[in-house]
Chains A and B, each alone.
Chain A
Amino acid sequence: MKLTGAEILCESLTRLGVREIFGYPGGAILPVYDALGKSKLHHVLVRHEQGATHMADGYARASGGVGVAMATSGPGATNMVTGIATAMLDSSPVVCITGQVSSKVLGSDAFQEIDITGITMPITKHNVVVTRAEDIARTVREAFLIANSGRPGPVLIDITKDAQQATAEFNWEASAPQLPPKRQRNNLDQAEFDRAVEMLNTAKRPIILAGHGIMVSGAMRAFEQFVRAGNYPVAMTLLGIGCFPANDPMNLGMMGMHGEAWVNNAIQEADLLIAVGMRFDDRVTGDLRTYAKSARKIHIEIDRAEINKNVQVDVALIGDAREVLEKLTPHIAPCDRGAWIRHIAELQGDSAVRDIQSLPDNGHLYAAHVINDLWKETRGEAIVVTDVGQHQMWEAQYYHHNLPRTLITSGGLGTMGFALPAAIGAKFAKPDSEVWVVVGDGGFQMTMSELATIVQEKINIKIAIINNGFLGMVRQWQEFFYDKRYVATPLVAPDFAALANAFGIRGERITKRAEVLPTIRSARESAETVLIDFRVEQEDSVYPMVAAGASLHDMIRRPNNPLVETATEP
């Protein structure tokens, strides 16, 4: 069957199970758009190509499948860069397809020509330029394979306009991936495995550090069986949240810079760290010189390059988390961890009493109230997509996720503007799930143009803006480390509710604690998107906090009088 390159692309995407493409048209990708119109693929028109990549990323994270973003050459492609880097740092399988000027003029600085494969080389798992129609099907199949195998990541395919227009024989069977042969390493060394088992069975104060890799490998069941077998307490990374139910008694909560104090202290006192699908990021370890000094360390990780990168480990079990855990569990001897678990409970101490939830209502609204009410009202089962900053940390602390792939957030790159478009992608992946955006007033203003995409696509998501009139996390650092010199952090915003109305979206503004629950309820009852502008305390901070470079146990705790009252209109 003879097809044009553009038709081959659409046919290949369809055969790979793609339903939605998030993109923005332009000259060098027009042949593909013409073919798209004749295909069964649904194209979601974004308002900025960064949004397209975040949507594809949100789609991938919510579903576990590959998200697809599309853009034209030049500025269309460069606008994707932030979204591609976001996907790279969080190992998200995204395939980006960009148009490119015709192969005859490549390298001539033609109109809207840019070397996007050169630009994205360090932020993609792989990228490739296609100049011939007959290479498109195989390249697309290879891209999907690369994006979602091993440690996932983004792949970019740059297709010249003449390759889109030329015709070629389309033969799916003959277009199977032909990736270069790879050396097969015998990763799971038996001696290492035996040493790991010995450590797992003799540790007195073990703790699991559970990361994103558990979700990526679909190891939730295997992980739970492993936890039960050894009675291991579980601490989670930000991206690990959801891999193990928050309401499980063995789940301690999040570790790291804004992790729970008792979790960080337990890690510092542990005699064995069992790291699963996590990479000892600096936000998790604090000062490496003082990190978990008395603990031996086992690292279960699919990416060999992560072993001993930040933390020197005693045993590395390289492989897919599910496979490794399934092999380990039968060797774990039952063990009573009563003393260690009681000790961790003691570390927890009076934290609950000091928590902002337990303090008297002074009429002011705190972000923690909003998140906590949202959690209660949705029973911890909504998909929550957050942006980056204070609200992101409060979400991680106060929204207790029981289900995998329900917290979608930019962890590694920390990309502001991620939440709104990523939530749109997540909604397409899980149309029957309730999707909430939790976003700050700063990050929301970065990509709020995607409100128009929501309206055009008639999708139903709920948007909670945690509005404190500041770039809150930066303000917090200025408060703690720059003597309260608030340079460039006070932030003017439009009336978000009125803005929503201008887009044809219902908007609400909330300033009092008592209004939170009823408004969340009413938003949930609506079949359409609702935006709620929560005007929260302006100078509240996220506690506890491990300052950058400080030891993990050296936390800045919430002051004795934690109720900051700085709102202009309580």
Chain B
Amino acid sequence: MQTLVAYVENKPGVLNRVSSLARRLAINIDSLTVGPTENEEIARMTIVAHTDEKGAHRLEASLEKLVDVLLAENISSRALLERDLALIKVSADQQNRPHLMELIKVFRARVVDVAPESLIIEVSGTVDKIDGLLEVLRPFGVLEMARSGRISMTRGGDLLRPPVSASPSSELESAGSSVK
């Protein structure tokens, strides 16, 4: 499993270009999240791809060839913070409710909706943590689940920021119709 971060133009069709590229390279995407950045014209993607280091290099380099991708980087080997968010609707009656509440506490999850027959639990953290909670909830009956997919960030001073808009293109434009 390889984790890539990409900064892309925040406009229609870009997600299609990115996912279509992965399809073309026969790389299965395990999780892909997109969200806005502090610059509304730029979106940030976290792509978790089912491939090896070589495949990730191809994906990264090929992504950067797309005009709408500003930067793509394989961050798998770096110190990472990784988060996934899940909403889990689990069946809960009068009898097992106390037991459930205890488990939720252990996992530092919280209850965000209460109904007579069920609860919705919100949990965030690493994939392992959420999978762990899911495991213990299963015997109670998981009715429905929604997961956000992973977002990742490199730790500490290791910054991955979008390139600023000093357009490198102007000097190249004359190449348009020149005869080399």
Residues of A within 8 A of B (CB): 16-18, 63-66, 117-118, 121-122, 125-126, 141, 144-149, 151, 176-184, 216-218, 303-305, 307-309
Which residues in B have their C-beta under 8 angstroms from that of A308?
54, 57
B64 and A141 form a contact (CB under 8 A): no
- From B69, B165, B178, contact of A65 by CB (8 A): B178
> Nearest chain A CB to B75's CB is how many angstroms away?
14
With A145-B172, A179-B167, A305-B58: A64-B179 Cβ-Cβ less than 8 Å: yes
Cα–Cα, bound, A178→B170 (Å): 9
A180, A182, A303 pick with most chain B CB within 10 angstroms: A180
Q: Does B157 contact A (CB under 8 A)?
A: no
Interface residues of B in 109-123 (CB under 8 A from A): none
B70 and A181 form a contact (CB under 8 A): yes
B67 and A183 form a contact (CB under 8 A): no
B61 and A16 form a contact (CB under 8 A): no
Interface residues of B in 122-180 (CB under 8 A from A): 162-170, 172-173, 175-180
Which residues in B have their C-beta under 8 angstroms from that of A144?
173, 176-177
Interface residues on B, range: 35 or more
Which residues in A have their C-beta under 8 angstroms from that of B17?
121
A121 and B179 form a contact (CB under 8 A): no
A64 and B178 form a contact (CB under 8 A): yes
B67 and A179 form a contact (CB under 8 A): yes
Cα–Cα, bound, A305→B177 (Å): 26
Cα–Cα, bound, A177→B169 (Å): 7
Which residues in A have their C-beta under 8 angstroms from that of B175?
145, 148-149
- From B9, B173, B178, contact of A177 by CB (8 A): B173
Cα–Cα, bound, A307→B65 (Å): 14
Which residues in A have their C-beta under 8 angstroms from that of B31?
none
B71 and A183 form a contact (CB under 8 A): yes
- From A149, A176, A177, A309, contact of B58 by CB (8 A): A309
With A64-B178, A177-B173, A179-B169: A304-B61 Cβ-Cβ less than 8 Å: yes
Q: Does B105 contact A (CB under 8 A)?
A: no
Cα–Cα, bound, A144→B16 (Å): 23
> Nearest chain B CB to A143's CB is how many angstroms away?
9
A145 and B176 form a contact (CB under 8 A): yes
Which residues in B have their C-beta under 8 angstroms from that of A126?
66-67
Closest to A18 in B: B177
Interface of A is mostly: loop
Cα–Cα, bound, A59→B30 (Å): 43
Not counting A145-B175, A145-B176, a sample of 8 additional A-B residue pairs whose C-beta atoms are within 8 angstroms of each other reads A63-B179, A65-B177, A177-B169, A180-B67, A181-B164, A181-B168, A184-B168, A308-B57
Closest to A151 in B: B65
Cα–Cα, bound, A183→B173 (Å): 18
Please name 29 pairs of A and B residues whose Cβ atoms are closer than 8 Å in the assembled complex, sorted by A: A16-B177, A17-B177, A17-B178, A63-B179, A65-B176, A65-B177, A65-B178, A118-B16, A121-B17, A141-B176, A145-B173, A145-B176, A148-B175, A148-B176, A148-B177, A151-B65, A177-B167, A177-B173, A179-B167, A180-B68, A180-B165, A181-B70, A181-B165, A182-B70, A182-B71, A182-B163, A184-B163, A303-B65, A305-B61
With A18-B177, A65-B179: A180-B58 Cβ-Cβ less than 8 Å: no
Closest to B17 in A: A121
With A121-B20, A176-B170, A182-B168: A66-B176 Cβ-Cβ less than 8 Å: yes
Closest to A155 in B: B67
Q: Does B99 contact A (CB under 8 A)?
A: no
Which residues in B have their C-beta under 8 angstroms from that of A125?
65, 67
Which residues in B have their C-beta under 8 angstroms from that of A303?
61, 65
A181 and B178 form a contact (CB under 8 A): no
Cα–Cα, bound, A178→B167 (Å): 7
Which residues in A have their C-beta under 8 angstroms from that of B24?
122
> Nearest chain A CB to B42's CB is how many angstroms away?
8
Which residues in B have their C-beta under 8 angstroms from that of A218?
180
Cα–Cα, bound, A181→B69 (Å): 9
With A65-B177, A149-B172, A304-B64: A181-B166 Cβ-Cβ less than 8 Å: yes
> Nearest chain A CB to B170's CB is how many angstroms away?
7
Cα–Cα, bound, A176→B65 (Å): 21
